[in-house]
Structure 1
Amino acid sequence: MSSEQRPLADRTLVVSGGSRGIGLAIALGAAKQGANVVLLAKTAEPHPKLPGTVHTAVADVEAVGAKAVAVVGDVRKEDDVQRAIDTAVQTFGGVDIVINNASAIATEPTEALAAKKFDLMMDINVRGTFLLTKAALPHLRKSANAHVITLAPPLNLNPHWLGAHPVYTVSKYGMTLLSLGWAEEYQDSGIGFSCLWPQTYIATSAVTNLADGDHLASSSRSPEIMADAATQILIGPAKDANGQTYIDADVLAAAGITDLSRYGGGDDPIWDIFVDKKMNDKS
């Protein structure tokens, strides 16, 4: 594919939690369209239960013909986040895209949820999204078509989801509210703030490490569906994405892609949390 056919050529993407899973898939999807990639993640050494490190992720991006750099750091720490943005500017000349991917999940009932897990979800999900976006804003303003995609769900006030795991829900909806707030606060900046959420379970370590992980994974779609949906958003005008909360399958359907069988999950994949199946029968 020539540079003329790569719509993200010479653009720079910074992704948090990009060493594996959906974050890495989105990085690879953008890289295949020409983007430079900066991966911010804590995993510098192999984890006994999780595949890949931030360094193997760089190698994966380079294997598809793109440029990448690893930043070992914690999205909860302001200095680490600033270092990731500084690295993007020093290495590639700017920041055009931010993917707020890093996230923690704990779905225990309220009385069983440890305070440290409460703090972890709030710190990674809400604080991390705030820190990375804030640090990138001065550079995003200079981009011709800047995007910030936050991996958070549409706001669904169905009491079922509000009561299923209130603290996790607050942390993820906090990410969504930040994105919607920024869309309004910076509506004249040319930056497109949007959210992206999977219609179904995605076959990541978060699923496979569960007690029934193998069975769940067989009814989950691959991370590439999120990558393809994100790429569709990123190659479009930022103004069209600003303030939107997308579901991956809906993004692909709008692009004329309705056969999702290549992403796996079987004929009846497991619908993801926060998504009411009856509201998505069209997909």
Structure 2
Amino acid sequence: MYLIAMLGNLLIILVVSSDRHLHTPMYFFLSILSLADIGFTSTTVPIMLVDIQTQSTAISYAGCLTQMSLFLFFGCMDDMLLTMMAYDRFVAICHPLHYPVRMNPRFCRILVLVSVFFSLLDSLLHNSIILQFACFKSVEIPNYFCDASQIFKLSCSDTFRNNLLIYLISVILGFVPVSGILLSYYKIISSILKIPSQSGRHKAFSTCGAHLSVVCFFYGTLLGAYCGSTVFHCSRKLVVASVMYTVVSPMLNPFIYSLRNRDITRSLKRLHSRIIKTQGLE
């Protein structure tokens, strides 16, 4: 699953960067999302594979904080990029004539830089709270990656305020992107319903179908894992729930965006043809 996720996302980046027909805002955000997915799953799975091989579940203090920082950074990046892609679809469907002006390359790069800034802020805020009271040489956690809530459970001191602060930060930094996605799709659906012809409605909706599928799967598995952590007392069930959004979601994203996307399919065929021709010349 990890290899499929890596190869699939690397292939998306390669196709988008090599085909000038895909140098559009939607595919620019998709390539950055693929890069974030590679980082997101690479912060957890390789260490898990090493733990399985060595039969050790211990992690160092520095390693735990580093893993948590990267995990939060790339997770927040996914969150922000999905919101930007929803806004891109909103402008394309609701304001098609203004699309080239609004979604110009400079504005798209600024949006990506904003997502990087807030992702770093989220990661730094979580780490600053953990550093106030948690210190250990090594520790064993009931999951395959370090998470703030699990580190709090290992602390002997009262962590109610810290937990409350962590949840408050998560709600603020999570509520804004989710609100943006919901508002964008509310406007998109309203505009699609106003289209008189059924074929026109189907064509308009097909342009955002892949993104909507990725959003539903990502947030569905994420909520399932975090809600499950309060319900599941079995660590095995918690790990299975966590795998769904840390491994399965990044693995499925390239398939969702490529299987029913004619632009990606055509670009893949052109890339394959170029490789065949290059091999023939050699």
Asked if Structure 1 and Structure 2 have the same fold, meaning a TM-score greater than 0.5 normalized by the shorter chain, the answer is no
Relative contact order higher in (CA < 8 Å, ≥ 6 apart): 2
- Output the TM-score relative to the length of structure 1: 0.28
Calculate the TM-score normalised by the size of structure 2: 0.28
Compare CA radii of gyration and give the structure with the larger one. Answer: 2
